[in-house]
Chain A
Amino acid sequence: MTDIAQRGASPVDWTSSAADGRRRRRRAAETRLRYYGLAAIAVALGLLAILVGSLVLNGYRAFTQTQIALDVYVDPAEIDVEDPSRGDYRGLVAASIASVLPGADDAELRAARDIVTRNVHFILRDHVVRDPSVIGETIRIQIPASDPFDQLAKGIIDRDLPESRRRVNDQGIAIYDQFAEQGRVEQRFNAALFFNADSRFPELAGLSGAVVGSFFALVVCFVLSFPIGIAAAVYLEEFAPKNKWTDIVEVNINNLAAVPSIVFGLLGLAIFLGWFGMPRSAPLVGGMVLALMTLPTMIIVTRAALKAVPPSIREAALGVGASKHEVVMHHVLPLALPGILTGTIIGLAQALGETAPLLLIGMNAFITSPPGGLLEPATALPTQIFIWADSPERGFVARTSAGILVLLGFLILMNLIAIFLRNRLERKW
């Protein structure tokens, strides 16, 4: 040990205080570095917790909805028995409300009608159309409370404020309390959030249109970008001659991946809508724009996956006389597929969250029914959130957060699928 130490120019004394000091400083530097890292992670996690926490705090109320139970006599005299979609449902509701508030005057009845959502007659009509056997009977149906009373029920509107400073007046509160006494007011799970499309009334607004629109757009995006991306990547990685032109193509693909998404939106607006005259707000166009945006990522990810296939496998296949095409199709591509799939899902997750290009092609329109096809106007999840965030009604505040939570849920789900696929299909050599 000392022999080795003394072989240098001058003997090194590892036990001197100077050496001790050096050791201490090095150890301190290491500890410091570890704490910097820990601090960075703590900050990141803290911010994430604040984000999710505030979303949950704002959004959890949107997952329940105040419902008012009404007993409605479905009077065969007021509606068309042959065609239940026609009839004076508004009158039926008014009669039902009047029957539970005996002796109320017109102003009070009007105030009472304002407690339930304004589309109440459509809800009743749909109910009767679904089940015409209820004609002639008294049925109890759950009607969502209108937004101000929903807020009141959830305690967001403070009863103790002076009347002039709150959205609901004393008269409304009095009637609401009467309903509550009769046991008609209830907080229920807000299924409308998932099964309704957009609406002017927060109590009726839901995400189904946006979810379907996003789904269609993602399907289009996948159908376009997956094969094109793989074909381009396979050509560039396996077949393209290494020359100036391939270099230019490569550099451009890498740069395209960094182009702001709104530019792709402008491109889609100019080309798909302007030149080709495709319909506005259609998931088809949305998907095409998202595909443009996803393609560079897809190509880069696929090329990386192809590169990761060991050359020995290519040599082995070539060595038994496989043609270039067989090497790629039988060996390289199947082995790269797990990587490609993970990359694809992450690319699609990115596309799912993309807002700016969809705004430009009109997927932020006000659309009250889920799209029935690729060419029908639709919104997407992020644009729906954008629309809601822009809406003045109080109920949309919670719904915006709830929408973000739903979007995050989908993103987490897609990433989990990607992780699952990677672990499941990953091959080791």
Chain B
Amino acid sequence: MTAMHAPTAAPDAPAPVLDKRETVRIPLEIGNASKVDARDVKVFYGAKQAIYDLTIGIPEKAVTAFIGPSGCGKSTFLRCLNRMNDTIDGARVEGDITIDGKDIYDADLDVVTLRARVGMVFQKPNPFPKSIFENVAYGPRIHGLAKSKAELAVIVEAALRKAGLWDEVKDRLLETGTGLSGGQQQRLCIARAIAVSPEVILMDEPCSALDPIATARIEELIDELRQNYTIVIVTHSMQQAARVSQKTCFFHLGYLVEEGPTDQIFTNPRDKRTQDYITGRFG
């Protein structure tokens, strides 16, 4: 925390220290339309404020990475996007978050449908202790997406193929999902999220429990998935953010410090805090 205020200038290209409340915004070159928009979002846990006046746009069919030290509010914000924070006692969200221009905190919005449209992959692979097939089929089943068993099987196969898991599990669909390796479990969780045809996929540090090979496999997958889905990924690994994302947002102490094209953020950060973080000076 103190390191942030320390006036040590970086040896090369000292970044201007901006007002803590200001966000440095560098426009994206890829020009994708904004899928998710947040304006002046504040999040409170009881009396404690976790996010301050956050305004952000998340481009459609691209990967947006949230980076920042622990406790900076990036996971909290991610969980606002599918209203997973609703399940936490005392959590309160102010401001507007819209998907395709529709407010997701609107009183007459159905949370269940929202969570089907905005899928989520968690930090620790958490397949249901059921068969591989049942894991993927669960979402389509509760949302009534398949009219027959055959149709359900088609959906499951398509989801597993998209998650790049089909060839590995096609002969053991009835075995339990928890028996897979960590990387396979995480891809199963991705398949489970894809199966309900979401528009946005939120990933909360999806590789932090995986070994480098499984991580590489997931990163490849994320790169493929961005053709069809809007992906938001929270990560502690700067290399991962640099590898998979087109847009990067740096969070610090509940503020969005800097957002912009990933290569810009990593090669030429404008804010000193961003620079300190990506050069490993703190966090």
B115 touches A321 (CB 8 A): yes
Contact with B along A302-322 (1 / 0, CB 8 A): 000000001011111111111
CB contact list, B73-97 vs A, under 8 A = 82, 84, 87, 89
- Assess whether A320 is in contact with B122, with CB atoms less than 8 Å apart: no
Q: Which residues of A contact B119 (CB under 8 A)?
A: 319-320
Q: Is B142 in the interface zone, CB < 8 Å from A?
A: yes
The complex places the Cα of A96 from the Cα of B113 at a distance, in Å, of 88
- A424 close to chain B: CB less than 8 A: no
Contacts of A335 in B (CB 8 A): 129
Q: Give, as a whole number of angstroms, the nearest-CB distance from B232 to chain A.
A: 14
In the complex, chain B residues whose CB is within 8 Å of the CB of A276:
none
Q: Is the CB of A313 within 8 A of B128?
A: yes
Say whether A321 contacts B139, CB under 8 Å: yes
B127: A residues at CB distance < 8 A: 316
Q: B171 to nearest A CB, angstroms?
A: 24
- Asked if A429 is an interface residue, CB under 8 A from chain B, the answer is yes
B136-151 toward A: CB 8 Å interface, digit per residue (1/0)?
Answer: 0011001100000000
Q: Which residues of chain A have C-beta atoms less than 8 A from B82's C-beta? A: 319
Interface stretch of the complex, out of B188-196, B221-229, B255-263, B268-276: B188-196
Task: Report the bound CA distance from A326 to B144 in whole Å.
Answer: 13
**Nearest chain B CB to A77's CB is how many angstroms away?**
76
- Contact code string A405-429 (vs B, CB < 8 Å = 1, else 0): 0000000000000000000000111
The answer to whether A321 and B126 have CB atoms under 8 Å apart is no
| B129 and A427 contact, CB distance less than 8 A | yes
Query: Which B125-166 residues sit within 8 Å CB-CB of chain A?
Result: 126-129, 138-139, 142-143
Given the known inter-chain contacts A321-B143, A326-B142, A330-B138, please indicate yes or no for A316 contacting B126, CB distance below 8 A: yes
Given A331-B128, A335-B129, A429-B178, A319:B122 Cβ within 8 A:
yes
The answer to whether B89 and A320 have CB atoms under 8 Å apart is no
Contact B193 A320 (CB under 8 A): yes
Whether A171 sits at the interface, judged by CB under 8 Å, is no
A427-B139 Cα distance, complex, nearest whole Å: 22
Interface residues of B in 43-59 (CB under 8 A from A): none
Residues A323 and B124 in contact, CB atoms below 8 Å apart: no
Report the interface size for chain A: residues with CB under 8 A from the other chain: 21
A312 to B192, CA, bound (A): 14
Interface string of B57-79 (1 = CB under 8 A from A): 00000000000000000000000
Instruction: Determine the chain B residues whose CB is within 8 A of the CB of A165 once the complex forms.
Output: none
CA distance A318 to B129 in the complex (A): 15
Whether, in the assembled complex, A242 has its beta carbon less than 8 Å from a beta carbon of chain B, the answer is: yes
| B116 contacts chain A at the CB level, 8 A cutoff | yes
The answer for the CA separation of A326 and B115 in the assembled complex, in Å, is 14
CB distance from A190 to the nearest CB of B (A): 50
B18 at the interface (CB under 8 A from A): no
- A242 to B90: give the CA distance in the assembly, Å: 10
A429 to B179, CA, bound (A): 10
Given A242-B89, A427-B129: A319 and B120 interface contact (C-beta under 8 Å): yes
| B195 surroundings in chain A (CB, below 8 A) | 320
B126 and A313 contacting across the interface, CB-CB below 8 Å: yes
A317 to B82, CA, bound (A): 13
Tell me whether A321 and B113 are in contact (CB under 8 A): yes
Q: How distant is the Cα of A367 from the Cα of B178 in the complex, in angstroms? A: 56
Complex: A322 Cα to B196 Cα, angstroms:
11
Cβ contacts under 8 Å, B193 to chain A: 319-320
A312 touches B126 (CB 8 A): yes
One of B89, B122, B129, B139 near A429 (C-beta < 8 A): B129
Is B112 close to A, CB under 8 A?
yes
CB <8 Å contact, B87 and A318: yes
A310–B128 Cα gap in the complex (Å)? 11
Which of A242, A310, A320 lies at the interface centre, i.e. has the most chain B CB atoms within 10 A of its CB?
Answer: A320
- Please encode chain B, from 180 to 209, with 1 for each CB lying within 8 Å of some chain A CB and 0 for all others: 000000000100110110000000000000
Question: In the complex, are the beta carbons of A321 and B116 less than 8 A apart?
Answer: yes
Q: CA separation between A358 and B82, bound complex, in Å? A: 54
Residues of A within 8 A of B115 (CB): 318-321
Q: Could you tell me which residues of chain A, from 322 to 374, have a CB within 8 Å of some CB in chain B? A: 322-323, 326, 330-331, 335
CB-CB < 8 A to B124: which residues of A? 312
B112 proximity list for chain A (CB < 8 A): 321-323
Contact (Cβ within 8 A) B142 A315: no
Chain B residues with Cβ under 8 A from A317's Cβ? 128, 138
Distance (Å) between the CB of A382 and the closest chain B CB? 40
Q: Report which of B116, B122, B138, B143 forms a contact with A315, defined as CB distance below 8 A.
A: B122
Q: Are B122 and A322 in contact (CB under 8 A)?
A: no
Which residues on the B side are within 8 Å of A330 (C-beta)?
A: 138, 142
Q: Would you call A316 and B189 a contact (CB within 8 A)?
A: yes
Q: Are A320 and B196 in contact (CB under 8 A)?
A: yes
Residues in B neighbouring A321, C-beta threshold 8 A:
112-116, 139, 142-143, 196
CA of A407 to CA of B138 in the docked complex: distance in angstroms? 46
Closest to B122 in A: A315
A313-B128, A331-B128 as given contacts; A320 in contact with B84, CB under 8 Å: no
Write 26 A-B pairs (CB below 8 A) sorted by A numbering. Answer: A242-B89, A310-B126, A313-B128, A313-B129, A315-B84, A316-B189, A318-B84, A319-B82, A319-B84, A319-B119, A319-B121, A320-B139, A320-B192, A320-B193, A320-B196, A321-B113, A321-B114, A321-B142, A321-B143, A321-B196, A322-B112, A322-B138, A322-B142, A326-B142, A330-B142, A429-B178
Q: Which 9 A-B pairs have the closest CB atoms?
A: A321-B116, A320-B139, A312-B126, A319-B120, A321-B115, A316-B126, A321-B112, A323-B112, A427-B129
Interface residues of B (CB under 8 A from A): 82, 84, 87, 89, 112-116, 119-122, 124, 126-129, 138-139, 142-143, 178, 189, 192-193, 195-196
Residues of chain A having any CB pair with chain B under 8 Å: 242, 310, 312-323, 326, 330-331, 335, 427-429
Contacts A315-B120, A320-B196, A331-B128 supplied; 14 other A-B pairs, CB < 8 Å: A312-B126, A313-B126, A313-B128, A314-B87, A315-B122, A319-B82, A319-B115, A319-B122, A319-B193, A320-B115, A321-B112, A321-B196, A428-B178, A429-B129
